[in-house]
Structure 1
Amino acid sequence: MSNRVLMKGNEAFAEAAVHAGCKYFFGYPITPQNEIPEYMSRRLPEVGGVYLQAESEVAGINMIFGAAGTGHRVLISSSSPGISLMSEGISYIAAAELPCVIINVMRGGPGLGGILPAQSDYFQATKGGGHGDYKLLVLAPGNLQEATEFIMMAFDLAEFYRNPVMILTDGFMGQMMEAVEFKKVKLDYDIPDVKEWAIGYMAQRGKRALIKSLSLDPEVLEQHNKKLQKKYRLMEEKEVRFESAGVEDAEIVIAAYGTTSRIAKSAIKKLREQGIKAGIIRPQSLYPFPCKAFSDLPESVKHVLVVEMSCGQMVEDVKLGVCGKVPVSFYGRCGGMAPSVDEIEEAAKNALG
């Protein structure tokens, strides 16, 4: 008997968090992710949890800071300009080494932009929207099934690394409907049941728990930064994820993530039918980025085409990965427009000359 159920993306994201043991949600409505808080407002009381709509995104992320400090699994969701408002708080949470999951259902920008899908938050997510030398683990699912698995996995990763994890999706994925099954991804990590750093644990032992990101002693702050960097190197060693198909004999490789990768796969099929050997590398982790997948391209590859729903952001990491071995070109649509199969096909042919 199948356990698959047809759900809208945003609602599937929320239910996946509940399956992962999330009991607390704080957030603020913004299109196109409003179904997440709407769903959580009904669902969380059913599992003994708490939903609270904050008065702003700034308030919401600081509520997450406080709730994460208790050791409970917490979630916040928003879309593009809302994430911008949370950037300071996200930096604080990363500095305080607190686990939480953040879902960004991207929309077009800059500024308030529009409410239609985009992928123009790549820099914001992977390069640090707030200040300081911090990193988020950033996962980019390619379909709703993968999204539910990534979200459930994200809570484990957040606890293991004591670090925020961002799920980067877009308005297409938030609004589409697909059949999903809520199955947990088993990680071979030792995640302690007792969180000795949490406020509740310390209070039970008569100790004062002070969770903060402020450090006025420069030598202490430098050592803290070095500790964080050591953690990020471990992420880069263990958490690189990507999908590769048709690359072993390809003359052109398309790099795309999320919704755009689904369109690109259809273009690759058409190119192959015409005798053009095309393949795809789809980063599933945007940080850490799968640089080695691009540095290890076979000699048959003559060109890499990066396709994004933006003016070009991931393309910079692809170029760093390729390291000058082959030319890298870019094709993108922005402002809520998505590239079509025919457009990607034509861009690939033009790239090959």
Structure 2
Amino acid sequence: MGDRILMKGNEAIAEAAIRAGCRFFAGYPITPQNEIPEYMSRRLPEVGGTFVQAESEVSTINMLYGASGAGARVMTSSSSPGISLMQEGISYLAAAELPAVIVNMVRGGPGLGGIQAAQSDYFQATKGGGHGDYHLIVLLPASIQEMVNLTRLAFDLADRYRNPVMLLADAVLGQAMEPVSFAVEPVTEKPSRPWATTGWKGDRPRNVINSLYLEPEELEKLNLRLQKKYAEISVREKRWETANLSEADVALVAYGTTARICRNAMDKGRAEGLKIGLIRPITAWPFPEQPFEEALGLGIKKFLVVEMNYGQMVEDVRLVINGRGEVAFYGRAGGMMPAPAAIVQEVRKLMGRGNC
């Protein structure tokens, strides 16, 4: 179990889901995540699970609603425009308090865009791409090993809070290969779900799963219950990583593949005498304020947010900093990736050192 295996990111997610107890997967092909449904179509029948290739992403997300409501551990995966089509169903899942794991292997946009890596779905994932007042828990892996670990965590969080969880990654992580370890024992028993619609024999109240409330008072009660749950998640489930903040004048802020590039840029800049640290959010929602408070407490007043988009997570960083420091942004999009040298140059500009 502890041996390391060389695996492609998409396939590592799929195997991690199997070992986390996922027994139902519905999906529809779209690059660059196709290896996930391909892998699941082979492996799920081997463990007594069910794989369905749906006729569309709209069908996919509604199949998850039904299977989760019946008590299964469920997952789907897609890429940006496919996730867009799922938004109504994702809102339904959140309203009905049904656990589900959704993988978005982000590609460039808007529109059909391209199949190269991007981070342009951050708003969609964190601001509620569907209708109503709801939140997904959004996890941000930066390595294939972390994809494995966070996939396991995603299923646990989905069950713990009866809420959809999204794994927000990108095409680089989906297509790259790295050694991974599946050190945790596989889940072999179905988690207890007393709320599921598994049949009624008169020995308990009937279970009803619903997101339609025609009486405003009842719908408000649902919203208040959800908000209480989101407040608990916000307190308990923020995750992040930092590096070199105690000796930094500037903090880079990035997630996913971009965080790996920024770590390279940090090392390059420090070798040139620039005092650079790094803040890497691991949850996009709930967004972790604590590392920014730590950085401010250490005297860091300059933050450079680097993303593979034209400015999305930077808005959350500016809300946290709230005028107590300078927040700059550097981004590439459409499948283009920021280079370490360009990031170091942006740090120089932020520090007022120009091209020196």
Please say whether Structure 1 and Structure 2 have the same fold, judged by a TM-score greater than 0.5.
yes
Partner of 2:310: 311
Q: What pairs with 1:269-280 in structure 2 (closer than 5 Å)?
A: 269-280=267-278
Cα 1:250–1:25, aligned 2, differ >3 Å: closer, same or farther? same
CA contact (8 A) 2:2 2:182 kept: no
Q: Contact conserved, 1:152 with 1:185, CA < 8 A, in 2?
A: no
Take 2:173 and 2:243, find their aligned partners in 1: how far apart are those partners?
22
Separation in 2, partners of 1:144, 1:254: 22
Matched residue SS, 2:166: strand
1:326-341 matches, within 5 Å, as: 326-341=325-340
Deviations 1:125-169 (A, max 9, x none): 001000000000000011000110000111111000000000000
Q: 1:208: Cα distance to partner?
A: 3.9
CA contact 2:69–2:197 (8 Å) conserved in 1 = yes
**Structure 1 residue 291: Cα displacement:** 1.5
1:295 aligns with 2:255: no
Structure 2 gaps of 5+ residues are none
- In structure 2, what residue type is equivalent to 1:141? P
Partner Cα separation in structure 2 for residue 2 and residue 157 of structure 1: 24
Pairwise CA distance, 1:75: 0.5
Are the counterparts in 2 of residues 295 and 323 from structure 1 also a CA contact under 8 Å? no
Equivalent residue number for residue 197 of structure 1? 195
The CA distance in 2 between the partners of 1:56 and 1:196, in whole Å, is: 31
Counterpart contact for 2:118–2:335, Cα < 8 Å? yes
Cα shift at 1:182: 1.2
Bigger shift: residues 291-300 or 166-175: 291-300
Change (3 A) 1:4 1:201: farther
Asked if structure 2 preserves the Cα contact closer than 8 Å seen for 1:203 and 1:209, the reply is no
SS at match of 1:344: helix
Residues 1-353 of structure 1 mapped to structure 2, 5 A cutoff: 3-184=3-184, 193-200=191-198, 202=200, 205=203, 208-297=206-295, 298-353=297-352
For 1:170, the aligned partner's letter is D
Displacement of 1:50: 0.8
Q: Distance in 1 between matches of 2:99 and 2:223?
A: 17
Change (3 A) 1:145 1:230: same
Higher mean alpha-carbon deviation, 48-57 vs 297-306, is at: 297-306
SS of 1:133's equivalent? coil
TM-score, structure 2 normalization: 0.95
Counterparts of 1:23 and 1:259, CA distance in 2: 29
Q: Is the 8 A contact 1:149 1:185 kept in 2?
A: no
> What's the CA shift string for 1:64-90, capped at 9, x where partnerless?
000000111000000000000000000
What's the offset of the Cα at 1:112?
Answer: 0.8
**Cα–Cα, structure 1 residues 133 and 212, in superposed 2: closer, same or farther, change >3 Å?**
same
> How many pairs are equivalent?
349
Unaligned segments of structure 1, at least 5 residues: 187-191
Q: How many angstroms apart in 1 are the aligned matches of 2:183 and 2:285?
A: 24
Paired with 2:202 and 2:60, the residues of 1 have a C-alpha distance of: 27
Q: Supply the AA of the counterpart residue of 1:241.
A: R
How far is 1:228 from its partner? Answer: 0.1
TM-score (norm 1): 0.96
Task: State which drifts further: 133-142 or 201-210.
Answer: 201-210
**In 2, Cα distance between the equivalents of 1:342 and 1:246?**
19
Deviation at 1:295, TM superposition (A): 2.8
Structure 1 runs, 4 residues or longer, greater than 2 Å off: 183-186, 201-210
Deviation of 1:211 (Å): 1.0
